[in-house]
Amino acid sequence: MTGSDQDIRDHVRERYAAAALSVVAGSAASCCGPSDGPQTNCCGPSDALNSISDTDEAEIFGAALYTPGETDGLPEEAVLASLGCGNPLAVADLRAGERVLDLGSGGGIDVLLSARRVGPTGFAYGLDMTEEMLTLARANAARAGAANVEFVKGHIEDIPLPDASIDVVISNCVINLSTDKPAVLAEMFRVLTPGGRLGISDVVAEDGLSPAERAERGSYVGCIAGALSRTEYSTG
């Protein structure tokens, strides 16, 4: 990993740690900037969505993307910590008894929803690199009484799970944050069982935008600069 890549990773970690601490302090998660600078969500920041109202932004990122009633019964802290750009469970088609891995699990909302769907014979793992998010997620799992979950510290480019150990890999607006997406994709397929599935929500750039043009439109931590194009995603 280059020094620049490490700087990006550190910046992402710092911003998501701040988001976790804001939930612990009793407010909705946000990747807040300095007090004299702009206050932004982790994904969908004002520098990337300056033409979109706060109301519209709330409908694009976060807990509002789940269907009515879907998050009922989850700890409030898990819902407040939702920072994704979609609902990976809407495309994952989880079944009882399956093993699920959520890449960049944050406060645990998608892990807890997955655990509910796969039932007591299944299992849901959450992988995150941010200690503050892991602490929050584990507390949320305890509040929910979820026995079939585990939150693991690590990087999505180097998943600390065995080969062919997961039936479904999900992720919610996290792959765009990685500086080594080929490694992420290779690791996803390594841990998947034969015939395993993916359920991914992510920010994707139009094919006509170069990496430099994406960077002009938003930051890495805002899920813009690191977004793959549609073609890059489809060709892997």
Mean pLDDT taken over the chain: 82
Task: Select the more confidently predicted residue: 176 or 144.
Answer: 144
Query: 125, 107, 140, 132: which is closest to 188 by C-alpha?
Result: 125
Query: 170, 208, 154: which is closest to 90 by C-alpha?
Result: 170
Q: What percent of the chain has pLDDT over 70?
A: 78
Q: In whole angstroms, what separates CA 56 from the centre of its chain?
A: 20
Q: What is the pLDDT of residues 39-97, one digit of tens each?
A: 345 564 433 333 334 444 444 556 777 888 999 999 999 999 888 888 999 999 999 99
| Residues 154-174, mean pLDDT to the nearest whole number | 97
Task: Select the more confidently predicted residue: 151 or 234.
Answer: 151
Q: In whole angstroms, what separates CA 75 from the centre of its chain?
A: 18
| Partners of residue 204 on adjacent β-strands | 228
pLDDT of residue 168: 98
pLDDT of residue 103: 98
Helices (H), 54-159: 54-60, 76-80, 89-92, 109-118, 131-144
Amino acid residing at 147: A
CA distance 171 to 111: 10
The number of CA neighbours under 13 Å toward the Cβ of 66 is 19
CA distance 105 to 63: 14
pLDDT of residue 132: 96
Query: 118, 231, 103: which is closest to 178 by C-alpha?
Result: 103
pLDDT surpasses 90 at 135: yes
Per the structure, the count of domains in the chain is: 1
Cβ atoms of 44 and 18 closer than 8 Å: no
pLDDT of residue 215: 66
Task: Select the more confidently predicted residue: 105 or 52.
Answer: 105
pLDDT of residue 5: 85
pLDDT of residue 37: 37
pLDDT of residue 87: 92
pLDDT surpasses 90 at 196: yes
170 is written with which tokens?
């999900």
pLDDT of residue 61: 56
pLDDT of residue 50: 37
Its domain, for residue 9, covers: 3-235
| Residues 138-145, mean pLDDT to the nearest whole number | 97
CA distance 195 to 167: 8
CATH of the domain at 199: 3.40.50.150
pLDDT of residue 166: 98
Amino acid residing at 43: C
pLDDT surpasses 90 at 176: no
